[in-house]
């Protein structure tokens, strides 16, 4: 997005606060008057001292005290309003980004790293907020202060004023020359910051992995490379800022010294009073300082516009819904779901993830999907939930095409239990209530009982109000999964989707979770991705998926009798489990001298 386009977009947020900006403009202009007043006051005091006019100092002291009070009040209001505007615009951008991010399709999150999105929510947002407050007002104030000082200098001595003002165009040209380089550099820094944020997001959330694999040195090396890339760009920014600052300082100091020599010469000749020279020196500061600061302000604005552009990239990404859906509290009726020749491939993929998938699921039926990893099982769930649209074929629920349903209506048919539980930082109560925001205390407790989670929750010091940590990190895997099941119980949708809900659990936790799942399934229509084939023997129909296709279907007995792919998978897994039990018994005998069967 071009710079003008970015600023135009940003101005729509600024225009929402016209009244605050109007008051801020008044305090800015009044502050300029106060700055010029101090120059006048220095002139009057100096002339009074030269004339030895002691009586004049009483009035000057009173005026000075009033000046200090008024200046302090104006300064407070000015600073407060700048911060208020920045905070409000930051908040509006955060809310707009969050609202938009929640409406983005699953494909966006699959393509973009969450750390990069996090960087736009934080670092870029902070930079834009600074621009709309402090930087923007200073870009207005500094030229106005310079013009006002120039006018006063003209009143004192027109030749001195022209000498001082000659530096203005040179300063502006300096900012223009270095501004584009600064913006390009700022975008690179922000991009590298996004990369390192993404890297940290991955690493700091997987401490057990890097410790168990002893890859700390490798990660440190990768982090060092990211950090050095940022350092390289920051050093480049330092060179740009150094060149800008030194050139601006040279011009400012040269002009100041030249004007000072000329002013001293006029005083020596008697054509300029000492008080006027003192006022001139102060006014020179008001003229040189704004021009000297101008390149830096332009650079800051360039950096902020780069950050705003990254934010607007997110806001311009297509959403899957225009308005965020309301949580379903009244569940729909369900009779039948049909997938008819559904094919799907991820953007950019060379092969289908689903290829001509057809199935039929009736109310109360239990269907299991098995097969090797990468066969398309989880993708099937994503299509059912409307996270992706099929490339070919249709999905029907109660003879209505899901493609013609609102996403809220479509998803209200499903309760989803993912493999990784999908809990959020916060209390147990908040996480379970995500299943039904209107649930009361008794409904929450009943859901916990059905999910075999009531006892362990009540044993926690704060019970339902216990903070579970990042993604439930303060709980065991089995506890997290049982809370996920309690959430699904509270949602009470007619179709239950179970995505290998016990795959990562130990035997004891798996038993508790399986008991909870059986209660959850009850008379519900269930579609389950199964990891352990022994858990789905009673399913009404079992689908075997391989290479994105359904290669077999039938009951457990029918598939075993067919001696096909399911037969091979089942007995291969059975042999692995028996081998594992044999190893466990050997370990127990070695440690106790007593076979486990005799215990």
CATH number at residue 145: 1.20.1560.10
Do 388 and 267 lie in a common domain? no
Sequence-separated (6 or more) residues with CB below 8 Å from residue 131: 10, 300, 301, 304, 305, 308
Domain for residue 454, yes or no? no
Helix (H) or strand (E) holding 308: helix 274-315
Do 299 and 372 lie in a common domain? no
Do 263 and 303 lie in a common domain? yes
> Pick from 253, 283, 315: which residue ends a domain?
315
Distance CA 523, CA 527 (A): 13
- Domain housing 524: 336-413+493-592
- The crossing angle, in degrees rounded to 10, of helices 441-450 and 507-521 is 120
Domain for residue 464, yes or no? no
Beta strands per DSSP E along 292-408: 336-344, 354-362, 366-370, 392-397, 400-401
Tokens of 395: 């999905």
Domain for residue 449, yes or no? no
Helix (H) or strand (E) holding 214: none
Do 508 and 568 lie in a common domain? yes
Domain for residue 475, yes or no? no
Do 29 and 77 lie in a common domain? yes
Do 385 and 520 lie in a common domain? yes
Domain for residue 320, yes or no? no
Domain for residue 418, yes or no? no
Helix (H) or strand (E) holding 552: strand 549-554
Closest by alpha carbon to 31, among 338, 286, 315, 222?
286
The number of folded domains in the chain is 2
pLDDT in tens, the chain (599 residues): 555 588 889 999 999 999 999 999 999 999 999 988 888 888 888 878 777 777 788 888 898 899 999 999 999 999 999 999 999 999 999 889 888 888 888 888 888 877 778 888 888 888 898 889 888 898 888 888 888 888 887 887 777 777 666 666 666 666 666 666 766 777 777 778 777 777 776 676 665 556 655 667 777 788 788 888 888 887 887 777 777 767 766 776 776 677 677 777 777 777 777 777 777 777 777 777 777 677 678 778 877 888 888 899 989 999 887 777 776 667 788 889 999 999 999 888 888 899 999 999 998 888 889 888 888 888 998 999 888 899 999 999 998 999 888 888 888 898 888 877 778 878 889 888 888 888 888 989 988 888 888 888 898 888 899 888 777 778 887 888 888 888 888 888 888 888 876 655 555 556 666 676 666 666 778 888 887 777 788 888 999 998 889 999 999 899 899 988 888 888 887 777 666 555 555 544 444 444 433 33
Domain for residue 82, yes or no? yes
User: What CATH number should be reported for the domain holding residue 546?
Assistant: 3.40.50.300
Do 274 and 354 lie in a common domain? no
Do 257 and 385 lie in a common domain? no
Domain for residue 444, yes or no? no
- Beta-strand relationship, 392-397 and 525-529: unpaired
34 to 142, 276, 281, 408, 419: CA distances (angstroms): 14, 18, 16, 59, 66
Q: Residue 199 region, left (φ>0) first, then alpha (ψ -120 to 50), else beta?
A: alpha
Do 65 and 98 lie in a common domain? yes
Do 303 and 340 lie in a common domain? no
């Amino acid at each position: 997005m071009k710079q003008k386009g970015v600023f135009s977009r940003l101005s729509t947020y600024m225009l929402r606060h016209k009244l605050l900006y109007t008051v801020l403009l008044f305090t800015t202009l009044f502050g300029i008057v106060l700055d010029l007043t101090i120059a006048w006051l220095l002139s009057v005091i100096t002339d009074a001292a030269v004339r030895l006019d002691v009586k004049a100092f009483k009035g000057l002291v009173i005026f000075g005290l009033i000046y200090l009070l008024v200046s302090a009040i104006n300064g407070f209001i000015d600073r407060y309003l700048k911060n208020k505007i920045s905070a409000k615009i930051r908040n509006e951008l955060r809310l707009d980004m969050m609202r938009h991010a929640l409406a983005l399709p699953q494909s966006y999150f699959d393509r973009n790293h969450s750390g990069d999105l996090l960087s736009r929510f934080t670092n870029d947002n902070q930079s834009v907020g600074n621009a709309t407050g402090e930087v923007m007002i200073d870009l207005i104030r500094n030229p106005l202060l310079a013009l006002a000082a120039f006018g006063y200098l003209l009143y004192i001595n027109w030749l001195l004023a022209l000498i001082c003002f000659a530096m203005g165009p040179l300063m502006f040209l300096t900012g223009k020359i270095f501004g584009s380089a600064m913006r390009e550099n700022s975008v690179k820094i922000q991009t590298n910051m996004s990369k390192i944020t993404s890297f940290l997001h991955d690493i700091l959330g997987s401490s057990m992995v890097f410790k168990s694999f002893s890859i700390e040195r490798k990660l440190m090396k990768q982090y060092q490379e990211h950090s050095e890339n940022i350092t390289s760009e920051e050093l480049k920014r330092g060179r740009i800022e150094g060149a800008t600052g030194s050139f601006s300082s040279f011009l400012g100091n040269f002009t100041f010294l030249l004007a000072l020599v000329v002013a001293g010469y006029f005083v020596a000749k008697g054509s300029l009073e000492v008080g006027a020279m003192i006022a001139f020196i102060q006014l020179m500061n008001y003229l040189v300082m704004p021009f000297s600061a101008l390149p830096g302000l332009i650079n800051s604005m360039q950096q902020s516009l780069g950050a705003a552009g990254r934010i607007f990239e997110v806001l311009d990404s297509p959403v899957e819904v225009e308005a965020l859906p309301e949580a379903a509290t009244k569940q729909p009726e369900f009779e039948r779901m049909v997938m008819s020749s559904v094919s799907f491939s991820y953007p950019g993929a060379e092969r289908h993830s689903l290829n001509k998938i057809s199935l039929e699921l009736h109310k109360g039926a239990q269907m299991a999907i098995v097969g090797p990893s990468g066969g398309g099982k989880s993708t099937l769930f994503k299509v059912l939930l409307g996270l992706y649209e099929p490339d070919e074929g249709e999905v029907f629920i109660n003879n209505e095409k899901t493609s013609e349903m609102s996403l809220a209506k479509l998803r209200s048919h499903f309760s989803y239990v993912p493999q990784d539980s999908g809990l959020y930082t916060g209390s147990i109560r908040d996480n379970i209530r995500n299943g039904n925001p209107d649930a009361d205390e008794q409904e929450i407790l009943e859901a916990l009982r059905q999910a075999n989670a009531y006892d362990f929750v009540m044993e926690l010091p704060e019970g339902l109000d216990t903070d579970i940590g990042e993604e439930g990190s303060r709980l065991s895997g089995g506890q997290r999964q049982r809370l996920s099941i309690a959430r699904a119980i509270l949602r009470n949708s007619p179709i239950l989707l179970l995505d290998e809900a016990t795959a990562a659990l130990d035997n004891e936790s798996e038993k508790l979770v399986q008991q909870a799942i059986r209660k959850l399934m009850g008379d519900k229509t269930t579609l389950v991705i199964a990891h352990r084939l022994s858990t789905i023997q009673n399913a009404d129909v079992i689908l075997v998926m391989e290479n994105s296709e359904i290669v077999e279907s039938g009951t457990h007995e029918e598939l075993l009798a067919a001696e096909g792919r399911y037969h091979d998978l089942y007995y291969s897994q059975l042999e692995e489990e028996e081998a594992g039990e044999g190893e466990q018994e050997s370990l127990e005998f070695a440690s106790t001298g007593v076979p486990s069967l005799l215990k």
